[in-house]
Chains A and B, each alone.
Chain A
């Protein structure tokens, strides 16, 4: 220790003698990630920003009705989708906290949507909603002798279905996280509340919620970031259709890329940043303590 200190006091000492061996090794071991970071994060981001530098791109975006529609769709996806998902997750975490053998087994199955890849399951839903051959409309026809709706051909319904697929896929994950939070609450408090004759709502309001509030808010914010990047739920179910009316910001870049409008693709991603960066900043503050 003393040797390191005295070496670093000499201003003109060569770099190798100012650093101790572990520190040299530290730099060597950190190097692979720094290389990956420079080559595949810094360079693409810089290059992307450079491609998005023309003000004309933003004017074009502003005049593209699909962009405005995608921005609105994204907001609906976030506000409606996430709140419904997190509330159900909060509710179900209470359900899965019950000690029953069958609930234990159900929780094993319940995680399946999260454990299997999203492509085949989303495509499965897509065919279920097929107006002619899909399971849903055939059942509707058998029960009512009337044709069911053309699910994915109405932009509002199609977007709702995409939100549904998103909830189906990520609900188990958040339920599980909230469940761990719930199980960490001391059981004594509930027993004391039972003695005092507290109602179900009072127990939730005064015991469960106060100890889960922070976790719930963190989960909601993290879920917002991940949902902003949810490409599969929309792209594989609706492909952005009908008539490009169900795009969200994460699928829009691919749409412009397909149309060979690279600078628009990048500009649309830059436009999403005011939504992403505050969330990222908040999560960073939470996690990097």
Chain B
């Protein structure tokens, strides 16, 4: 075995001197949240770095809805789930159809629609929130889950269409021509050739839209207000209404709320990193 040279040791030290602060910086807020979730109230508020008596009691309070702020926890969890899945499914349908029409069928004006969608993508969603709130009021959709679902579809589909169009432009035209020669109708082409070939991108886009809707706070708290209608992030924000908020329960609920998207992200990381980020900033 070869002993490392002084220079190699120096290099490794330099890497560690960067890596350790990066690790601490990344983990602190997440560790703090986890710490509160497993601490009894006194330990959490005493600023301990590890509780004297770690406990799962907070999780029990949340799961059994044993606190004023948590009395609708499960229904809010359900609301978040339904809205995220519905927004994901609708975005997929709308965006796949549009990308197929623009990229494969070369529908007249398709490029125009693509550019309009891109324009929407680049207008920050926070600026559209107030007009969207009034619009949903005019449509009579306020306090209705559809308002949030449709708002999320509106925000998610421009990027979805763009990514799907980029991906489908790469499929060879000969494929469509061969299928048409064999007598395939346009719908068969879509169902039997296009969708199966686009599967990886579709998974990525579906995941993207689901995470976007699950994580949304601003639109959710503008559009929904009844305790049994709101989603989990809005419920978390409502904890702050009280002066003596039960922060250990807030952090526990937040931890539970953060788990599904983190799990989804890591499960689909291959698609997310490859499919989305590379497309996001084509230089």
Q: How far is the CA of A128 from the CA of B45 in the complex (A)?
A: 10
Nearest chain-B residue to A46 (Cβ)? B131
Q: Determine how close the nearest CB of chain B comes to the CB of A110; give it in whole angstroms.
A: 5
Stretch of A55-63, A189-197, A249-257 at the chain-chain interface = A249-257
A145 on interface, CB distance cutoff 8 Å: no
Contact of B283 among A95, A110, A215, A257 (CB under 8 A): A215
Contact B105 A92 (CB under 8 A): no
Tell whether, in the assembled complex, residue A29 and residue B33 are in contact, meaning their CB atoms are under 8 Å apart: no
Q: How far is the CA of A84 from the CA of B82 in the complex (A)?
A: 38
Q: B18 contacts the other chain (Cβ, under 8 Å)?
A: yes
Name the segment of A65-73, A132-140, A201-209 touching the other chain.
Answer: A132-140
Contact of A269 among B130, B218, B233 (CB under 8 A): B130
Tell me whether A116 and B126 are in contact (CB under 8 A). no
Residues of B within 8 A of A265 (CB): 130
- CB-defined interface of A217-243 with B at 8 Å, one 1/0 digit per residue? 011001001101111100110010000
B93: A residues at CB distance < 8 A: 32
Also in contact, A120 and B254, with CB within 8 A (given A215-B283, A218-B283): yes
- CA–CA, A215 to B281, complex, Å? 7
A80 on interface, CB distance cutoff 8 Å: no
Alpha-carbon separation in the docked complex, A76 to B80 (Å): 35
Q: Are B126 and A231 neighbours in the complex by a CB distance under 8 Å?
A: yes
**B78 neighbours in A (Cβ, 8 Å):** none
Instruction: Please give the number of chain B residues whose Cβ is less than 8 angstroms from any Cβ of chain A in the complex.
Output: 95
Contact call B29/A128, Cβ cutoff below 8 A: yes
A-contacting residues, B19-41, CB 8 Å = 19, 22-23, 25-30, 32-33, 36
Cross-chain contact A253 with B32 (CB below 8 angstroms): no
B77 within 8 A of A: no
Is A124 in contact with B134, judged by CB distance below 8 angstroms? Answer: no
Assess the B108–A23 pair: CB atoms within 8 A.
yes
Which A residues lie within 8 Å of B154 (CB)? 36-37, 40-41
CB-based contact A30/B128 at 8 Å:
no
A51 to B281 alpha-carbon distance, docked (Å): 35
Q: Are the C-beta atoms of A135 and B128 separated by less than 8 Å?
A: no
Chain B's interface: helix, strand, loop or mixed, by majority?
helix
Contact of B107 among A26, A47, A235, A272 (CB under 8 A): A26
B115 near A30 (CB under 8 angstroms)? no
B94 x A33 contact (CB < 8 A): yes
How many whole Å from B266's CB to the nearest CB in chain A?
A: 7
CB pair B127–A37 under 8 Å, yes or no, is no
Smallest Cβ-Cβ distance to B186: which chain A residue: A25
Chain A's interface: helix, strand, loop or mixed, by majority? Answer: helix
Contacts A23-B107, A121-B29, A180-B278 given; does A98 touch B128 at CB 8 Å: no
Among B101-137, those with CB < 8 Å from A are: 101-102, 105-108, 110, 113-120, 122-135
- Which A residues between 95 and 114 are near B, CB-CB below 8 angstroms? 95, 98, 100, 102-103, 106, 108-113
Q: A47-B131, A284-B119 are in contact. Are A124 and B36 (CB under 8 A)?
A: yes
- What chain B residues lie within 8 Å of A225 (beta carbons)? 122, 124
A12 at the interface (CB under 8 A from B): no
Residue of A nearest to B44 (CB): A133
Residues 117-132 of chain A: 1 if any B CB is under 8 Å from the residue's CB, otherwise 0? 1111111110110000
A123 engages B113 (CB within 8 Å) = no
Known: A26-B107, A47-B131. A177 touches B277 (CB 8 A): yes
- Map CB proximity to A onto B128-168 as digits: 1 under 8 Å, 0 otherwise: 11111111001100000000001101100100011000000
Could you jot down 6 A-B contacts, CB within 8 Å? Answer: A29-B101, A123-B250, A125-B32, A222-B280, A239-B240, A254-B130
- Contact surface of A with B, Cβ cutoff 8 Å: 21-23, 25-27, 29-30, 32-34, 36-37, 39-41, 43-45, 47-48, 51, 92, 95, 98, 100, 102-103, 106, 108-113, 115-125, 127-128, 133-135, 137-139, 142, 168, 172-173, 176-177, 180-181, 214-215, 218-219, 222, 225-226, 228-232, 235-236, 239, 249-251, 253-254, 257, 262, 265-266, 269, 272, 276, 279-280, 283-284, 286-288
Binding site for A on B (CB under 8 A): 15, 18-19, 22-23, 25-30, 32-33, 36, 45-47, 93-95, 97-98, 100-102, 105-108, 110, 113-120, 122-135, 138-139, 150-151, 153-154, 157, 161-162, 185-187, 190, 214-215, 217-218, 222, 233, 236-237, 239-240, 247, 250-251, 253-255, 257-258, 261-262, 265-266, 269, 273, 277-278, 280-283
